[in-house]
Chains A and B, each alone.
Chain A
Amino acid sequence: MSNNQLNITEPDLALIDDYITGKLTLPEKESFEQRLQSDPEWKSKVEEIKLLSLGIREAALRQKLDTFHQVQPGKIRPISWLKKLSVAAVLIGLIGLCCWWLFLKPSADEKLYADFYKPDAGLATEMSVSENYNFERAMVDYKTGKYSAAIDSWKKLLPLNPGNDTLNYFIGSAYLANKDGASAIGYFNDVLKTGRTAFSSEALWYKGLALIRLGKKDEAIEAISSSGHPQKAALLHKLKE
């Protein structure tokens, strides 16, 4: 690379840096880019500064790699993350189920629903190093039974992440836990629209349960048959009785 043939002056560097870092106004940027087209030497200078900037950044990134290495999986939650059951959340679910039994006298459909419904335990959360703060904050609400709060927070994230299966699945789960099966089904359908995802099987299972509660037995059988839930056979057997 014949970079050192070029005489880059201090004002040249200042202008090129402003361009690279996006600090030029629109007219300045337009005139800069016109010069790039018409002045090959200027273009070479810009290319060189761009590469220098990348080299400087590579050196800086190399310095950070050992720090990155200190964080082992588990200390930070991966971006797309397979679900793990949290013992505490399962217990909350079980307590919820017991309360339900004690205070409600379910119909046949509701009884069947209650026999098989156990709220999704949610994802483990670690509030420390995470970009997903809002998502995880809402997950804490969900796990502590504040389903409406969780729904509100997650729904705000949805426009930024349209079609996100994780979000749709947990909004659906929160609606179902909040006894709004009809709304839940809409979100589970959105999960299923995205094709095969980590949440497809669970979405089908919970959609089926929501349908049972709404008295839509045939549709429920269809959804549950497609799910891979361990209790699928037992529930289908009951439904077909």
Chain B
Amino acid sequence: MPANTSGEHNFSAEVQAIKDNSSQVLQQIYTDNYSAAERYILQNNGSTEEAKDIFQEAFIAVWKNIQLEKFVPQNEQSLKAYLFQVSRNKWISHLRSSAYKKTAPLKYDAQETADDEPNDTASEYISAISKNMQKLGENCRDVLTRFYYEKESLRTIAAFFGWTEATARNNKYRCIEKLRNLLKNEKI
């Protein structure tokens, strides 16, 4: 359904869809908002590739803040504005980084430096988990993704791998324990 352009219609269904990882909704938010961020970055000394990287980081940060209920969008406009703001702030942070300073002068307002990347313990821990997922074996990554992201039932997962449901439950547990062990040495 088209959102109310006056921004007054109830947005909670969309927020729930984001929380439930609806690919359609996430895809649509990505597509609707990418070009504004890209335009801004291209106009401010960035490349298309940089625009993509920065926007994707902003997209993850916004998604995470919605999951943690640190940001509750009231309507489509507030979500758009927030995603743009996070992208812009990430780009400004990038411009201020030492790598960039070596090559170009700065010309941005000091007031625009706030980065909306969630940077508390919980958010950092989530990012660490995400990184450590890559260190798991393919089967474990697949089981955990199917269960927690795709929200497949243990029965479906068992059928896919040719396991019993009990084996699927046990394998999920084993994979979670592996992931926890990988995280044991993370200094968070």
Residues on A close to B: CB < 8 A?
Answer: 1, 3-4, 8, 10, 13-14, 17, 21, 49, 51-62, 64-65, 68-69, 71-73, 75-76, 78-81, 129, 131-132, 135, 157, 160-167, 194-199
What are 24 sample pairs from A and B whose C-beta atoms fall under 8 A apart? A8-B176, A10-B170, A54-B129, A55-B128, A58-B64, A58-B130, A59-B130, A59-B141, A60-B149, A61-B60, A64-B26, A65-B59, A73-B32, A76-B27, A78-B32, A79-B3, A79-B32, A131-B28, A132-B2, A161-B9, A164-B2, A166-B3, A167-B1, A194-B8
Known A10-B173, A68-B31, A80-B3; contact A21-B151, beta-carbon cutoff 8 A: yes
Chain B residues, Cβ within 8 Å of A54 = 64, 67-68, 126, 129
Nearest-neighbour CB distance to chain B for A227, whole angstroms, equals 17
By the criterion CB–CB under 8 Å, are A59 and B133 in contact? yes
For B150, the closest partner residue in chain A by CB is A60
By the criterion CB–CB under 8 Å, are B170 and A72 in contact? no
Chain A residues, Cβ within 8 Å of B147 = 17
Chain B residues, Cβ within 8 Å of A129 = 24, 27
Known A58-B64, A73-B31; contact A164-B9, beta-carbon cutoff 8 A: yes
Q: How far is the CA of A65 from the CA of B53 in the complex (A)?
A: 10
Q: How far is the CA of A4 from the CA of B182 in the complex (A)?
A: 10
- A sample of 8 more A-B contacts (CB under 8 A), given A8-B176, A65-B60, A164-B1, is A3-B180, A13-B173, A55-B129, A57-B21, A59-B129, A59-B130, A69-B52, A131-B25
Chain B residues, Cβ within 8 Å of A13 = 172-173, 176
Interface size band for B = 35 or more
Partner of A164, one of B4, B28, B176, B183: B4
Asked if B40 is at the interface of the complex by the 8 Å CB criterion, the answer is no
Partner of B6, one of A56, A132, A157, A196: A196
Q: How far is the CA of A195 from the CA of B20 in the complex (A)?
A: 32
Known A57-B149, A58-B130; contact A195-B6, beta-carbon cutoff 8 A: yes
Instruction: Give residues 70-91 of B contacting A (CB, 8 Å).
Output: 76
Q: Tell me the number of A-to-B contacts counted with CB atoms below 8 Å.
A: 170
For B187, the closest partner residue in chain A by CB is A1
Asked if B119 is at the interface of the complex by the 8 Å CB criterion, the answer is no
Chain A residues, Cβ within 8 Å of B24 = 129, 131
Instruction: Give residues 152-172 of B contacting A (CB, 8 Å).
Output: 169-170, 172
Partner of A57, one of B125, B134, B148: B148
Asked if B102 is at the interface of the complex by the 8 Å CB criterion, the answer is no
Q: How far is the CA of A163 from the CA of B25 in the complex (A)?
A: 21
By the criterion CB–CB under 8 Å, are B5 and A68 in contact? no
For A9, the closest partner residue in chain B by CB is B173
Nearest-neighbour CB distance to chain A for B96, whole angstroms, equals 24
By the criterion CB–CB under 8 Å, are A4 and B31 in contact? no
Q: How far is the CA of A81 from the CA of B32 in the complex (A)?
A: 9
User: 8 closest A-B pairs (Cβ-Cβ)?
Assistant: A55-B129, A59-B133, A60-B149, A58-B130, A194-B6, A68-B30, A166-B2, A59-B130
Chain A residues, Cβ within 8 Å of B64 = 54, 58
Chain B residues, Cβ within 8 Å of A157 = 1
Q: How far is the CA of A76 from the CA of B34 in the complex (A)?
A: 13
By the criterion CB–CB under 8 Å, are B180 and A4 in contact? yes
Nearest-neighbour CB distance to chain A for B141, whole angstroms, equals 8
Chain A residues, Cβ within 8 Å of B173 = 10, 13-14
